[in-house]
Amino acid sequence: MIPKEILKKVRQIEIRTKGLVNDLFGGEYHSVFKGRGMTFSEVREYSPGDDIRMIDWNVTARSNAPFIKIFEEERELTVYLLVDISRSGYFGTTDQFKSELAAEIAAVLGFSAIKNKDKVGLILFSDHVEKYIIPKKNKSHILRVVREVLFNKPKARETSLKSGLDFLMKVAKRKSVVFLISDFLDSEFWKSLKLANRKHDMIGIRITDPAEEKIPNLGLIKVQDTETESEFWADMSSANHRESLTKKINEKWNHFQNKCLRNQFDVINVKTNADYVEPLMSYFNKREKRN
């Protein structure tokens, strides 16, 4: 049975995201993520000004009058939410964990997709795929997706983006829109990401906490690695030590961003202590202009 607090959180997320989808993301989503192409709809008689390249010569020959083909945009897409649920998501020094923010963003994207009659599938992974939900398109399905992101406790602690991406390539036979939601605290995934990015429309959403980017003065503390459960003492009272760690962290993420640019992999950066609406809307607007 699902705990009441999880159902309460799902309901709160539904309420918070409903207005965003109706007022902001619904229209932006539709204009940014186009359908798969044009599909044949019907034929009609030729009218002056019609494109002669659209003439259906078979129908024209049978009818002794010119007819043209009419095409419509094939609007329906399949959207996959590929969500990292490894233990590093259970971290947060502000009002929420990274995993809670991931669930809310998944809700916004999921509701935006079904508002535009697109199917939504879910892949949860740690160092292996923990859960797969086939793509569907109704409200109860999205609520289940949000519930799974919040409620599903990983059997493994570590992260393997490669395992999630490789599984995606097995189940997603047609080109899909894929949101990869993770803190990207992993390294051995670039080959799999390149392959997935060639086949699918891949967008990364990197979730971070402010304490991961700028080390606060916490004095001498015992630190536990959430993925390996190893413990060690760290002296955070030294300004030089904190500055050195912060520099290494910044260098790591600058390298990550540069590699994303080289591989044409779009990444949206969101933080647990900031509103995620602005970076998502900013990305949608830039992408719409780019299209």
Residues listed for the chain: 291
Domains in the chain: ranges and CATH:
4-33+75-290 (3.40.50.410), 37-74 (no CATH)
Is the pLDDT at 36 greater than 60? The verdict is no
Positions of E strands within the chain: 37-45, 67-74, 78-84, 119-125, 129-136, 177-182, 201-208, 220-224, 231-235, 266-271
β-sheet bridge partners, residue 40 = 71
Burial class of residue 40, CB neighbours in 10 A (0-12, 13-18, 19+): exposed
Confidence at residue 265, expressed as pLDDT on a 0 to 100 scale: 96
Is the pLDDT at 29 greater than 80? The verdict is no
| CB count in 10 Å sphere of residue 52 | 8
Q: Please state, in angstroms and rounded to a whole number, the distance separating the CA atoms of residues 91 and 30.
A: 33
The predicted-structure confidence for 145-203, as pLDDT tens digits, reads as follows 888 888 888 887 788 999 999 999 999 988 899 999 999 989 889 999 999 999 999 99
- For the chain, give the mean pLDDT: 83
β-sheet bridge partners, residue 132 = 123
Confidence at residue 231, expressed as pLDDT on a 0 to 100 scale: 63
| CB count in 10 Å sphere of residue 11 | 12
Say how many CA atoms lie within 13 Å of 236 toward its Cβ: 16
User: What's the whole-model pTM score?
Assistant: 0.77
Confidence at residue 269, expressed as pLDDT on a 0 to 100 scale: 95
**Greatest mean pLDDT among 29-33, 37-41, 183-187:** 183-187
Share of the chain above pLDDT 70, in %: 83
Confidence at residue 77, expressed as pLDDT on a 0 to 100 scale: 84
Confidence at residue 96, expressed as pLDDT on a 0 to 100 scale: 86
Across 90-99, 140-149, 158-167, 212-221, least confident range: 212-221
The predicted-structure confidence for 112-123, as pLDDT tens digits, reads as follows 888 888 899 999
DSSP string of 56-81, one letter each residue? -HHHHHHHTS-EEEEEEEE---EEEE
